[in-house]
């Protein structure tokens, strides 16, 4: 899949996808969710926790995150970043 095809499928600008792929920008939680849906993979597969990707198209954790307010998503993002340190 090309960057443009992924952009069309996910609704994320192709320039943003290019930056994410190059490692010069990290995706927001919202864009991460859009990428997982567009690629039809689970967050566990993306994070290397499993070798099997999900064909279901949705990850329950990411679906729950999508339903949160922007402030709540920002809080979760900060928490995740603090765990990575």
Q: Is the pTM of this model over 0.75?
A: no
Angle 14-22/29-39 helices, nearest 10 degrees? Answer: 100
Q: Looking at residue 61, what is its pLDDT?
A: 76
Q: Looking at residue 40, what is its pLDDT?
A: 83
Q: Examine the domain organization and report whether 1 and 36 are in the same domain.
A: yes
At 11, list the tokens: 């609704």
Are the C-beta atoms of residues 43 and 21 closer than 8 Å to each other?
Answer: no
Q: Could you tell me if residue 51 is inside a domain?
A: no
Q: Examine the domain organization and report whether 2 and 40 are in the same domain.
A: yes
Q: Looking at residue 18, what is its pLDDT?
A: 96
* pLDDT by 10-residue block (mean), the chain, 85 residues: 93 95 91 88 80 62 78 83 75
Q: Which helix (H) or strand (E) holds 62?
A: helix 60-66
CATH number, domain at 17? Answer: 1.10.260.40
Q: Looking at residue 8, what is its pLDDT?
A: 94
């Amino acid at each position: 899949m090309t960057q443009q095809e992924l952009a069309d499928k996910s609704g994320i600008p192709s320039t943003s996808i290019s930056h994410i792929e190059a490692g010069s920008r990290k995706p927001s939680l919202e864009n991460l969710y859009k990428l997982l849906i567009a690629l039809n993979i689970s967050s566990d597969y993306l994070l290397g926790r499993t070798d099997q990707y999900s064909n279901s198209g949705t990850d329950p954790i990411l679906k729950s995150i999508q339903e949160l307010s922007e402030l709540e998503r920002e809080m979760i993002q900060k928490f995740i970043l603090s765990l990575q340190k």
